[in-house]
Structure 1
Amino acid sequence: MGKHTCLPTSNSLPTGCAAKSVVVFTGAGISTESGIPDFRSPGGVWSKYRTVYFDEFCRSAQARHEYWEQKTEAHVAFAAAEPNIGHQTIAKWEEKGKVRGVITQNIDGLHQIAGSQDVLELHGTAREVTCLDCDWRAPVDPLVVQFRETNEVPLCPECGDGRLKHATVSFGQVLPEETLNRAHQWCLEADLIITVGSSLVVYPAAGLPEAGKRSGGKLVLINRDETGLDMIADMLIPGSCGEALAAIDAAL
């Protein structure tokens, strides 16, 4: 099948859109349309702070304080965000049995808020905090408030002095193996993978849609900019993630 670069219509969609196993893979681009900044962009959180690596977080109290400063600022940026038409469309497809589920690089939880039930969060979630020492886990909001009021890194209330970290994957920390393996299996079994708002340059996550394509699935890429997999895609849809997903929904 030839490659298309277009907005979707009933005649331009890949034949795989009638597939039995469809997976949606999402990146930061879908969340920026809900007002959440891309933290890699100029002026984003990552451009304002140095990187705190996981091993440094584990051994250094000062590094943990720097980490909590960064995460607290990022939390303020997305805590009030609401799902957009893109998140809502994907959730609608899952409810109707049109997609198997969502694999996401995002940590904002907007897919679940929109109603998606089967979401594989490759990089974890910033809406929860976990203790590295006893595995206690809870919503992050009260602890963010505590940090902002005291400027002191909170300790685990369960074990007393455990190191609390947002339930996200930090630099130098491995992706959760079970989640990654399940996502890989989904992609290998998919007839169609729709990637939304991802540059597809960060591995191992970017390797998932690629693996699905190489195992015989169709690959549709929706993104404002070029991606690392444009050359092997069956269809390229530039522009707004939400508008493109809504157009696909109308075409279907």
Structure 2
Amino acid sequence: MGRVQDVIEPVARLMAGGDVVVLSGAGLSTESGIPDYRGSTGAARRHSPMTYQMFVGDAQARRRYWARSHLGWRLIAGAAPNAGHRAVARLEHAGLVSAIITQNVDGLHTAAGSRDVVELHGRLDQVVCLGCGQRTSRLDLDGRLRAVNPGFAGRAAAINPDGDVELGAAEVAGFRTVDCLACGGLLKPDVVFFGETVPAQRVRRCFAMVERARLLLVLGSSLTVLSGRRFVLRAAQQGLPVVIVNQGPTRGDGYAGVRVDAPLGRVLPALADRLLGVGSRPTVSDAVVHAADS
């Protein structure tokens, strides 16, 4: 336990030289009202996330997904960046953070003002046709779905990180889906579902970012899936320092030179203030820092 300046000081020393690449996960967005899959907010999920194979192979599964997501994406679209997102943007604008790789599909890094963001798993506010590849706005699709479902009375309960919500079978049964206006193909949110592969070009770009960095800063990710953990492994192979700030253990802890267990919305603004020489720094009573070299 300790004051926030004690908690962040090992991180600040490593970040002071700049060229920091951020890898962010769902834990960064929980304070914006979007739950994660594996932390305390993720425990309420009552159904498994949609897989790519189920989405393309089962029309009823697609209907369930679109009915749930028709409500859920609006909640994500209405979410605002929190203090953690804004702190990352401040550090980027100051030249200390060179790039951001995010596993999140909520667009909140960009909304907070960050510029060099690679959205590893895509964006929920875009739609792609699996037939012709055309990308369109989710807002446009929302209008079409409203038009063909004028009596849809589903009410959003718990929202999930992939943008769907909990709905009963009766609420889903009458929901109608729509197809691509250009070719009649299947429409899918422009996000990487479970069981789907991240585009290779996007992965190569992220690897290149990590390899040019001085430091990899992991924020709010349990690193459970290889999709994000591979960048920690690459940093370790390259001999780059890794810092992890997350509430709870991660699968990358063994590679971290510094590990901070603390709320990101409180630690990141204090870290930005420390590095940018702004203001005083309050205390944090629920943060723990582990330094491998201390």
Same fold by TM-score, threshold 0.5 exceeded?
yes
Give 2:113's aligned residue.
115
Structure 1 stretches lacking a partner, 5+ long: none
Moved over 4 A (4+): 5-11
Letter in 2 for 1:158: A
Letter in 2 for 1:18: A
Deviates more, 1:97-106 or 1:56-65: 56-65
Q: Distance in 2 between matches of 1:35 and 1:121?
A: 19
1:191 aligns with 2:186: no
> Which residue of 217, 226, 241 corresponds with 2:249?
226
* Paired residue secondary structure (2:33): coil
* Number of residue pairs aligned between Structure 1 and Structure 2: 245
Give 2:282's aligned residue.
none
Instruction: Give the direction of change, closer, same or farther, for the CA distance of 1:241–1:51 in structure 2 (3 Å limit).
Output: closer
> Which residue of 238, 242, 245 corresponds with 2:268?
245
> Which residue of 163, 169, 177 corresponds with 1:153?
177
Structure 2 stretches lacking a partner, 5+ long: 150-174, 276-294
Letter in 1 for 2:204: N
1:62 aligns with 2:60: yes
Instruction: Give the direction of change, closer, same or farther, for the CA distance of 1:193–1:113 in structure 2 (3 Å limit).
Output: same
Q: Distance in 2 between matches of 1:11 and 1:34?
A: 26
Give 2:139's aligned residue.
141
Q: Deviations over 1:70-93 (max 9, x none)?
A: 323431331211001111111122
1:214 aligns with 2:215: no
Deviation at 1:239, TM superposition (A): 1.3
Indicate conservation of the 8 Å contact 1:8/1:237, yes or no. Answer: no
* Paired residue secondary structure (2:189): strand
Letter in 1 for 2:176: E
TM-score normalised to the size of structure 2?
Answer: 0.76
* Paired residue secondary structure (2:101): strand
Letter in 2 for 1:85: A
Tell me which structure has the larger Cα radius of gyration: 2
Deviation at 1:132, TM superposition (A): 0.9
Indicate conservation of the 8 Å contact 1:7/1:237, yes or no. Answer: no
* Paired residue secondary structure (2:245): strand
Q: Deviations over 1:146-193 (max 9, x none)?
A: 43561211211222x111100000122111111111111211221111
Deviation at 1:202, TM superposition (A): 0.9
Indicate conservation of the 8 Å contact 1:200/1:206, yes or no. Answer: yes
* Paired residue secondary structure (1:204): helix
Q: Distance in 1 between matches of 2:92 and 2:72?
A: 29
Give 2:202's aligned residue.
179
Instruction: Give the direction of change, closer, same or farther, for the CA distance of 1:82–1:229 in structure 2 (3 Å limit).
Output: same
Indicate conservation of the 8 Å contact 2:15/2:96, yes or no. Answer: no
* Paired residue secondary structure (1:153): coil
